[in-house]
Each structure stands twice: as C-alpha cells, then as structure tokens.
Structure 1
Amino acid sequence: MTSTAATTEATEKWSGQLRANGRRVTKQRLAVLTAVEHLPHAVADDVAAAVRGDLPDISLQSVYVVLADLTEIGLLRKIEPPHSPARYETRVDDNHHHAICTSCGRIEDVDCAVGHAPCLTPENTHGMTIEIADVLYRGTCADCAAQAS
C-alpha cells in the first residue's frame, strides 16, 4: 500500500469514527489523531509539534482541547505515568497495560494477562461495575540495562 493510500485510508477511518461519535470532521481533529497514531504514548507537546507540520498556526491550547475531546469520546486513551506528563495513544479497543522504564522513560504496551477486560478482578468492587483495570509496570528496559553493565 502506498503512503498516499494509507493516509487516505486512515483519514476515512478517523472521519467515520468522528462522525459515529457525533463530532464534525475537522483538519485539527484529523491531524491530532494522525499524530497520536504515529507517535504512541506521546505527550501533548510532541503531538502539537507533529500537528504543526500540517497546521503551523495551531496553538498548544487547541491541541489540548482536541486531545481532551477525543479522549472523552473514546478515540484516544490518556495514560498518566507517575512523575510524567499525560500521554496519549489510539489503542483504545482493548484493556492493555503499560511498562515504563524508570531510567529512560520509554513506554511499551503490555497485553492483558488474562485476555479479556478487565484483566484483574477485584475481591470487592464496592458496588461498582468494573470496566477497566489499569496496571503500570515499572522497571529497566533492556537498552538501559545493557548501558549500565
């Protein structure tokens, strides 16, 4: 598939999902979705920098507004690692977790251990219907471990 065909396919996919969630298809929304898709686990500043490649006049505040809206309707997932700014990803269709390197900050997806959502079943739900279990694994990535050796 050519780059142009892939871009057209992605635009059609995101446009359909925006409409299905009652949102207008705008160049700002499409640019943010495309940026996050290509930069998984990106912080808002990185998303804004990528978006400015297509929309040089977009403000950081506008990017934050779009990120919040897309997160609210479920097209993006916001993850909040400790001692780090919020990060965003387009992988929202499953209940995966994350592993973060405590040395370099690299974040990787970790598939659900049990294979269905939620992955962990609490002993007491306190009357809540549990939909997502959010687990954050912390450790040292192989690259950082090799450098330390």
Structure 2
Amino acid sequence: MTERDTELLREHGLRVTQGRLAVLDQLERLPHADAESVHRALVAAGNDTSVQSVHNVLGDLAAAGLVRRFEPERSAARYERRIDDNHHHAVCARCGKVEDVDCVVGEAPCLHADAPPGFTVRTAEVTFVGICADCAQTAT
C-alpha cells in the first residue's frame, strides 16, 4: 500500500510525507470518514498529529484528486478513496451510516440533466437518505 500511495502522491504533484501516507492508509480502512474520525484513528495508531493537520492533508488530497470529498446532509464532510466512478451514497437518517450506491445508469455522469447551453456535465452527486437495514431492524 505505501509504495503505491507514494507513487500516487508523486504522480499528482504532491510531496510524499508520513502524514499524507498515514491519512491515505486510514481512509483505506475507514471509507466515508470525516476528519475527526481520521484523526482519532491516527492517534490510536500512535501518530502524533493535530486535527488541523488532518484537515490540511485531506484538503490537499481532495484538491489533487486522490480522495473524494462529499457532504451528507447534517454531517461533517466525509472523504473516501473510491474515486473516478461517479458513484453515489445512501445515508441513514438515524445513525449516519454511509454506503456506496453504484452509478444508476452504468456510466458517468449517471444522470442526464437539462444543463445550460454549452455546459458539459462531468459528474452528478446523488445522496439517498433513508433508514439503513440495521436501524430498521432495531425499530421493529
């Protein structure tokens, strides 16, 4: 993983740092994580870092296109390593669990909108909000 991540950082014009490698590693383990969750996991793994440093690294990685940033309703921004397939998300309104939903038409941008003349749609973000299977079971 580290060798691949080292190459990815370099390919995207980012300096290879322990902080960036550690954050990428945690996002591999914790898909859909927010900065606070990544920070807690890093500290638990013995990394001495601040929440602000994690925010900075996540911002750099998102700007470089190495991670995807999305904002579920009533939630902090989340980050994931699954990129370039224009998938969507299902968010549980009770527990906040986030699950991936594959592209509904099989190819990006997954939706066909009436965009303004001359505007080319590259991606579409859809968030399905409902109740996850676990929460539905505990409600009955």
TM over 0.5: yes
Farther off after superposition, 33-42 or 121-130: 121-130
Structure 1 residue 116: Cα displacement: 0.7
Residue by residue over 1:35-61, the C-alpha shift from the partner in whole angstroms, topping out at 9 and shown as x without a partner, is 111100111011011122445321111
Matches within 5 A, 1:28-67: 28-54=19-45, 56-67=47-58
Q: CA RMSD in A?
A: 1.2
Aligned-residue sequence identity (percent) comes to 52
TM superposition score normalised by structure 2 = 0.95
Gaps of 5+ in 2: none
Query: Residue type matched to 1:28 in 2?
Result: G
Number of corresponding residues? 140
TM superposition score normalised by structure 1 = 0.89
Query: Residue type matched to 1:61 in 2?
Result: Q
Distance (whole Å) between structure 2 residues aligned to residue 80 and residue 135 of structure 1: 11
Gaps of 5+ in 1: 1-9
1:133 maps onto 2:132 in alignment: no
Query: Residue type matched to 1:132 in 2?
Result: T
Instruction: Tell me if structure 2 keeps the 8 A contact 1:31–1:54.
Output: no
Query: Residue type matched to 1:114 in 2?
Result: V
1:147 maps onto 2:138 in alignment: yes
From 98, 103, 106, give the equivalent of 2:89. Answer: 98
Query: Residue type matched to 1:56 in 2?
Result: N
Q: Which residue of 2 aligns with 1:4?
A: none
SS in structure 2 of the partner of residue 52 of structure 1 = helix
1:114 maps onto 2:102 in alignment: no
1:23 maps onto 2:4 in alignment: no
SS in structure 2 of the partner of residue 99 of structure 1 = strand
